[in-house]
């Protein structure tokens, strides 16, 4: 990997100069092809990656590429990768084989790889050795240099690899192409300090770096002026937003009290006219404060949905996971939230088959599921991530893990189904997101609690928040009808 100190570092103004240079290079390519060059950005993984992909696409569109959507048979294809689980890496390798076939038919095609997977040295070694047809590889820490990297790629015939081992900082004001005109993700921080023993993210995303609150608020104000009604605040652990800024202020002799906490940031964003809904993720149970619960309870705009990753219901396993809370801590927190905000939908992540897990630990997890009554849960079988502490622990038998996974999944489905149906017959506001992909006579909307509802309606409603009667629960979604407001 290249070392950060060996690379010239540019700011946002410099990158805008590269965008202008890129426009000329793409125009030359268009003359050569006899048409406008096309691009395709494919996102693997989390909401953070999805937001990064919007930035990548924004740069390419400004340079003159045409967006080909999900069609990977484009002139420039970028895979924005995830590495949370090993099968995510394998999916990328498999898809690269398909791209190689496209490139043989279109020698001028360019292929780029970025994201968390690219921060793994073994991955870069494998790409250099076995995937020489890839043109551009860069990581999470220097994503903002993408305009410069595109120019270098278009002017070169060799594989360009630019991986920084450490982050430089946060760069604002680069182009973004949003997927939806009426809702948007907003990064409030990057990186993670938690080092859960199974997780590779702190190693590939780096330590926590919070954006300045004024920059966040300015971005949300611009989004509101552009017609955005809903924002999703993004961070690996939003609860620790501002901790690094406060520490830096103290070290520099400044007044750390002027640094906003996450609840205070939410209150400031709530004041912005035009923003009608505020979501956020992810939220770590170890430091979800009473202040945050109070702000959520009193807010008119914060959505009634909280994703609070439990991972396991066993205190013993939680300790081995380095989660820094116990089963009792989690249950007490969930009860506090539900007591204070009865209509709050709680969703979670659960890992089954973590090293050393026994039947009693699985039973603890099922006990938590039934006591909390999660509205939904993303349940996974543990996947070894090389380079994490858990990878060196004694592993659970695969057959046993699958059996336990099925038990946990049944418990999740039972409680989620019970929770889902409780709103039948009620009228609730839904943000209309799109035409239903399976039935074009229906629209698809999302309730404040993140539940999906499908209903008949005109496409002119897309992007609007409308009252919908929830007529029939279909397990994890509703069939509804718009209430006439005339």
CATH code: domain 424-482 is: 2.40.50.140
Q: Are 60 and 24 in contact (CB under 8 A)?
A: no
The domain ranges of the chain are: 4-162, 183-421, 424-482
Distance CA 362, CA 353 (A): 9
Please enumerate in sequence order all residues whose Cβ is within 8 A of that of 331, keeping only pairs 6 or more positions apart, or say none: 368, 371, 372
Question: Tens digits of per-residue pLDDT, 394-443?
Answer: 999 999 999 999 999 999 999 998 898 899 999 999 999 999 989 999 99
Question: Is 183-421 assigned to CATH 3.20.20.150?
Answer: no
Distance CA 454, CA 112 (A): 37
Tell me the backbone φ, ψ of residue 166, rounded to 5 degrees.
Answer: -135, 155
Higher pLDDT, 113 or 179: 113
Please give the helix or strand (H or E) that residue 120 lies within, else none: none
4-162 matches 183-421 in fold:
no
**pLDDT, the chain, mean:** 91
Residue 22: HSE in the Cβ half-sphere, 13 Å Cα cutoff: 24
CATH code: domain 4-162 is: 3.40.50.280
Nearest to 201 by CA among 193, 213, 209: 193
Question: Tens digits of per-residue pLDDT, 448-485?
Answer: 999 999 999 999 999 999 999 999 999 889 999 999 87
Whose tokens are 């509802």? That residue is 453
Distance CA 131, CA 117 (A): 15
Distance CA 287, CA 324 (A): 9
Beta bridge partners of 473: 478
Average pLDDT over residues 258-279: 96
Alpha helices in 106-172 (DSSP H): 121-130, 146-154
Q: So what's the pLDDT on residue 253?
A: 73
């Amino acid at each position: 990997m290249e070392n950060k100190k060996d690379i010239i570092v540019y700011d946002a103004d410099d990158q805008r100069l590269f965008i202008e240079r890129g426009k000329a290079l793409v125009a030359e390519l268009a003359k050569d092809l006899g048409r406008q060059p096309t691009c395709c950005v494919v996102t693997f993984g989390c909401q953070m990656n999805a937001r990064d992909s919007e930035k990548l696409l924004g740069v390419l569109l400004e340079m003159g590429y045409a967006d080909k959507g999900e069609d990977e048979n484009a002139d420039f294809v970028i895979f924005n990768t995830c590495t949370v689980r090993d099968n995510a890496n394998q999916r990328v390798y498999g898809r690269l084989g398909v791209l190689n076939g496209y490139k043989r038919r279109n020698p001028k095609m360019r292929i780029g790889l970025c994201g968390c997977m690219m921060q793994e040295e073994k991955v870069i070694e494998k790409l250099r050795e076995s995937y020489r047809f890839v043109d551009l590889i860069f990581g999470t820490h220097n994503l903002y240099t993408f305009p410069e990297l595109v120019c270098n790629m278009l002017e070169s015939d060799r594989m360009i690899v630019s991986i920084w081992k450490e982050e430089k900082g946060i760069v604002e004001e680069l182009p973004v192409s949003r997927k939806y005109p009426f809702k948007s993700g907003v990064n409030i921080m990057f990186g993670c300090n938690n080092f859960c023993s199974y997780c590779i993210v702190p190693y590939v995303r780096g330590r926590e770096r919070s954006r300045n609150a004024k920059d966040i608020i300015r971005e949300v104000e611009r989004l509101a002026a552009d017609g955005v009604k809903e924002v999703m605040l993004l961070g690996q652990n939003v609860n620790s937003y501002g901790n690094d800024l406060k520490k830096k202020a103290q070290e520099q002799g400044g007044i750390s009290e002027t640094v906003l906490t996450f609840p205070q940031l939410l209150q400031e964003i709530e004041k912005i006219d035009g923003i009608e809904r505020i979501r956020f993720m992810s939220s770590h149970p170890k430091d979800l404060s009473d202040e945050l619960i109070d702000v959520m309870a009193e807010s008119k705009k914060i959505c009634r949905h909280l994703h609070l990753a439990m991972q396991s219901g066993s205190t013993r396993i939680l300790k081995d996971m380095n989660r820094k809370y116990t089963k009792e801590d989690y249950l007490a927190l969930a009860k506090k939230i539900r007591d204070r905000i009865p209509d709050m939908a709680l969703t979670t992540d659960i890992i089954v088959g973590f090293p050393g897990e026994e039947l009693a630990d699985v039973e603890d997890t099922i006990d938590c599921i039934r006591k909390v009554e999660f509205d939904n849960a993303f349940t996974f079988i543990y996947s070894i991530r090389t380079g994490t502490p858990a990878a060196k622990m004694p592993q659970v038998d695969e057959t046993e893990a699958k059996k336990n996974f099925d038990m946990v999944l049944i418990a999740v489905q039972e409680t989620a189904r019970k929770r889902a149906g409780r709103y039948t017959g009620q009228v609730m506001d839904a943000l209309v997101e799109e035409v239903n992909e399976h039935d074009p006579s229906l629209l698809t909307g999302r309730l404040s609690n993140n539940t999906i509802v499908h209903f008949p309606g005109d496409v002119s409603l897309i992007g609007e928040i409308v009252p919908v009667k929830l007529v029939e629960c279909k397990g994890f979604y509703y069939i509804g009808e718009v209430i006439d407001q005339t």
